[in-house]
Structure 1
């Protein structure tokens, strides 16, 4: 029974982190039909910005946890919005209407460029921002001990999911975006400024990616290449749930998180394999993912 509880708690925590990482990727693809390979770099930018801010604050004598958490959020939002605006206005806007495969190549090129930019700015030395993680302590859940910071990540993931649902289902901009998803040409004919909606969507997706990196920074050592490692797992989650579906991203993250937890506690040698095994098993029966919809191609 202890192992079962450990699997459930570890799986939920990892699934929450996976959803945070995959949410921005799903939003961008759902509206713009761009499989953004550079999403991992946006995650890394958020992690580096948060780690730098936390290091500056604590090294300067700061000791207030809420200020450190506010700095993580502010830095992640600022750098995500700025990077998203530059990427969309400077590169992607010139590529709209092109083949989806070409867009993958373009975003992969941006990933490589951003990886080198981050090395120029932050160097290759690891950054550690452990202070907020340590300050939040640990809590007992039965006989298990869980980090307070990781419980906060679960709460942030739930809040982000609810906010995205409310934005897409209950706001005017969300309804406009859903009309663009269903038929871009008709939306333009009805007077919708599709390019402006694309800019807003990409910036929101970029901010979500940077927030995921900022939240993760106190848990890991921030090093070059951290974004490349993340993007592979994020793709596995969104493909499992269905490209472009927020609900699919949440369910896919939960399935992958629990499967990984089962593997770690029972067959640790299969940890790296189990994520892709789950994805393959789902795609055999649901080629478009659990919540993905087949789309008719215009000829």
Structure 2
């Protein structure tokens, strides 16, 4: 029973992290049809920025240490919006409507550029921002399991982000306009929808979500070069399993991959690295478009 509980809790925590990482990437693809390989850099920039600010906050004599918990999302909001808008308005807006393979190549080049930029800004030494992680304490589950409350709070944040994203798309006027752009961009333009503004806002939101995932993860890891590249592979696996462009699919993919990985870690740790890609292979063999993906009709 203790092993089963450990698998479920570890799987839920890992799935919540995966969903936060993948949510912004799948939103950008769903609206703009851009498979943004630079999304891992947004994660890394959010993590580095949050770790830097938290370290600075605790370097002196901080007043209330719980303010550091607000630094994390605030940092992600500012940094994600600035970087996302700069990239979309400075580069991607000139490439709207281009072939998806070209966009993959362009955003992969951005990933490499931003990876070196983070090294130039923050150096190659790791950053540690462990203080917020310790603030919330631990919770005992049964007699043998203890979990950090910070990790459990990550589950609540992932659920909140998913619900807000779903409500924004399905229950607001801007969301309805966004769905119109998704279904038929040409007709939306003909009806007077400012598609360029929609694209800019969507890319900024996706960048903020990527930075948020990095900022919230920073207290639990060593923030070091290469974390963005590692994350983009996992995020890609999640959205492919769930279905490209689907928030519900990203959530389902994160849960499936998270539980599978947790099961492997506790039962057969030697296949941990394989199991994520094994899940992706099995899902795509049965549903090539992913669990919640839709087959797109090509316009001629």
Name the TM tier (shorter chain). Answer: over 0.9
Q: Could you tell me which residue of structure 2 aligns to residue 56 of structure 1?
A: 56
Q: Could you tell me which residue of structure 2 aligns to residue 150 of structure 1?
A: 151
Q: Could you tell me which residue of structure 2 aligns to residue 233 of structure 1?
A: 234
Question: Deviation digits for residues 58-102 of structure 1, max 9, x if unmatched?
Answer: 112215233101111111110000000000000100111111000
Pairing 1:26–2:26 present: yes
Measured in 2, the distance between the counterparts of 1:66 and 1:211 equals 18
Q: Could you tell me which residue of structure 1 aligns to residue 165 of structure 2?
A: 164
Q: Could you tell me which residue of structure 2 aligns to residue 268 of structure 1?
A: 269
Measured in 1, the distance between the counterparts of 2:297 and 2:118 equals 40
Q: Could you tell me which residue of structure 1 aligns to residue 45 of structure 2?
A: 45
The secondary structure found in structure 1 opposite 2:220 is: coil
Count of aligned residue pairs for this structure pair: 299
User: Structure 2 matches for 1:258-297, cutoff 5 A?
Assistant: 258-297=259-298
User: Structure 2 matches for 1:1-299, cutoff 5 A?
Assistant: 1-62=1-62, 64-143=64-143, 144-299=145-300
Question: Deviation digits for residues 105-147 of structure 1, max 9, x if unmatched?
Answer: 0001111111111111100010000011112211112231110
TM-align CA RMSD? 0.7
Question: Deviation digits for residues 218-263 of structure 1, max 9, x if unmatched?
Answer: 0000001110000000000000000000000000000000000100
Q: Note the residue ranges of structure 1 that are not aligned, 5 or more in a row.
A: none
Q: Note the residue ranges of structure 2 that are not aligned, 5 or more in a row.
A: none
TM-score with structure 1 setting the length: 0.99
Q: What displacement does 1:283 show? A: 0.3
The secondary structure found in structure 1 opposite 2:118 is: helix
The secondary structure found in structure 2 opposite 1:251 is: helix
TM-score with structure 2 setting the length: 0.98
Measured in 1, the distance between the counterparts of 2:120 and 2:7 equals 40
Measured in 1, the distance between the counterparts of 2:64 and 2:260 equals 37
Measured in 1, the distance between the counterparts of 2:164 and 2:247 equals 11
Measured in 2, the distance between the counterparts of 1:168 and 1:66 equals 32
After the TM superposition, list the runs of 4 or more consecutive aligned residues in structure 1 that deviate by more than 6 angstroms.
none
Measured in 2, the distance between the counterparts of 1:268 and 1:145 equals 20
Native 8 Å contact 2:76 2:212 kept in 1? yes
The secondary structure found in structure 2 opposite 1:221 is: coil
Measured in 1, the distance between the counterparts of 2:146 and 2:197 equals 47
Native 8 Å contact 2:140 2:147 kept in 1? yes
The secondary structure found in structure 1 opposite 2:147 is: strand
